[in-house]
Amino acid sequence: MKRHSLVIGGTGGIGSAFARSVARAGHVVSVIGRRLPSEAEPIPHVRYYAADLSCAQRLGAVLTEILRRSGKLSSLIFFQRFRGEEDPWVGEMEISLTATKNTIERLTDDFSRTDERSIVVVSSIASRFIVEEQPVGYHVAKAGLNQMVRYYAVALGPKGIRVNSVSPGTVLKEGSSPLSKRIIPLGRMGRSEDVVRAVEFLCSPQASFITGQEIIVDGGLSLRSQESVARELALQAVAR
Ligand SMILES: NC(=O)c1ccc[n+]([C@@H]2O[C@H](COP(=O)([O-])OP(=O)(O)OC[C@H]3O[C@@H](n4cnc5c(N)ncnc54)[C@H](OP(=O)(O)O)[C@@H]3O)[C@@H](O)[C@H]2O)c1
């Protein structure tokens, strides 16, 4: 029996990189996004489903359809990010928090008995630091997700379901502007695959006794004091 991964928000960005990676590893992959991807080449083993997470009824119907077609889950991963036009506070609460809670609660009895069972929520360093280009709702939703992870780690532990989070710093994707690499201890920007690998680890048997934890994937940037970073940037500016 193949492992079945359900990727919420896997039609674009880091979630789509994850879906490709686990499909290459031989998982059956179900992906939910608002829109079906327009790629000409379908990825083998990946099935896409269109549902707006703000519509509980549509989401429920799609989850039922996914279980019917592809069977019980091994992993459930949340990569979605509110990108709607509505009020950002309401949108962040609905798409990040409420949709994650409702999906987890709908699916707790639909995990495979034989596989490693895992839920991973992609959060952000904005759960603990202030990222000024993001709205207040993003910060509050991400902080709430981290506590939700701890809650469900305890609640779902007896069912053998592990629940963890991954918190990336800025990930260099097409269109995003690079930071000074010198301020990052590992000397480069984060990439989608760095986040993908951390999520894959948490879904794997290598993480079999890890639950309720957060892995920060930022190359060590958040360990540095703001003063050190400011000093380094000032010195760089003088040297130019
Ligand atoms: N990129 C970064 O630098 C960064 C840094 C820290 C944390 N993160 C976190 O990493 C995760 C992925 O980020 P990303 O930058 O890859 O995001 P992204 O490119 O905006 O992709 C978000 C995904 O969510 C789906 N989505 C958005 N609204 C939806 C809705 N209402 N219903 C259903 N699906 C919806 C999108 O698909 P559709 O457009 O088809 O709906 C897409 O598949 C997010 O949780 C983000 O907060 C990212």
For residue 71, the domain's CATH number is: 3.40.50.720
Number of structural domains in the chain: 1
Cα 238 to ligand 1 centroid, rounded to whole Å? 37
State the Cα torsion 60-66-68-71 to the nearest 10°: -130
Q: Burial code of 200-218, b = ≥16 C-beta within 10 A, e = fewer?
A: bebbeeebeeebbbbbbbb
Q: What is the pLDDT of residue 180?
A: 77
Q: What is the pLDDT of residue 188?
A: 94
Instruction: Give yes or no for residue 240 having a pLDDT over 90.
Output: no
Instruction: Give yes or no for residue 97 having a pLDDT over 90.
Output: yes
Report in angstroms the alpha-carbon separations of 224 from 23, 189, 218, 227, 230: 36, 15, 11, 8, 10
pLDDT mean across residues, the chain: 94
Q: What is the pLDDT of residue 43?
A: 80
Q: How many Å apart are CA 214 and CA 97, to the nearest integer?
A: 17
At residue 111 the predicted structure's pLDDT band, cuts being 50, 70 and 90, is very high
At residue 175 the predicted structure's pLDDT band, cuts being 50, 70 and 90, is low
Instruction: Give yes or no for residue 165 having a pLDDT over 60.
Output: yes
At residue 225 the predicted structure's pLDDT band, cuts being 50, 70 and 90, is very high
Considering only 27-36, 101-110, 228-237, which range has the smallest mean pLDDT?
Answer: 228-237
Of 8, 14, 173, which is best to mutate to test ligand 1, by the most ligand atoms within 8 angstroms of its C-beta? 14
Instruction: Give yes or no for residue 90 having a pLDDT over 80.
Output: yes
48 as an active site residue: the answer is no
Torsion sign (Cα): 59, 61, 65, 68: positive
Give the total residue count for the chain: 240
Q: What is the pLDDT of residue 130?
A: 97
- Domain extent, residue 52, equals 4-239
Q: How many Å apart are CA 69 and CA 106, to the nearest integer?
A: 17
Q: What is the pLDDT of residue 41?
A: 64
Residue nearest to atom 15 of ligand 1 (CA): 13
Q: What is the pTM of this model?
A: 0.97
Could you list the beta-strand ranges (E) of 56-192. 75-78, 117-122, 161-168
- Average pLDDT for 147-168: 98
Q: How many Å apart are CA 118 and CA 202, to the nearest integer?
A: 7
Q: What is the pLDDT of residue 1?
A: 76
Question: Per residue in 51-74, pLDDT tens?
Answer: 999 999 999 999 999 999 999 999
Q: What is the pLDDT of residue 237?
A: 85
Please indicate whether residue 144, judged by its CB atom, sits closer than 6 Å to ligand 1.
no
Q: What is the pLDDT of residue 39?
A: 67
Atom of ligand 1 minimally distant from the CA of 37: 40
Q: What is the pLDDT of residue 171?
A: 95
Instruction: Give yes or no for residue 88 having a pLDDT over 70.
Output: yes
Cα 79 to ligand 1 centroid, rounded to whole Å? 6
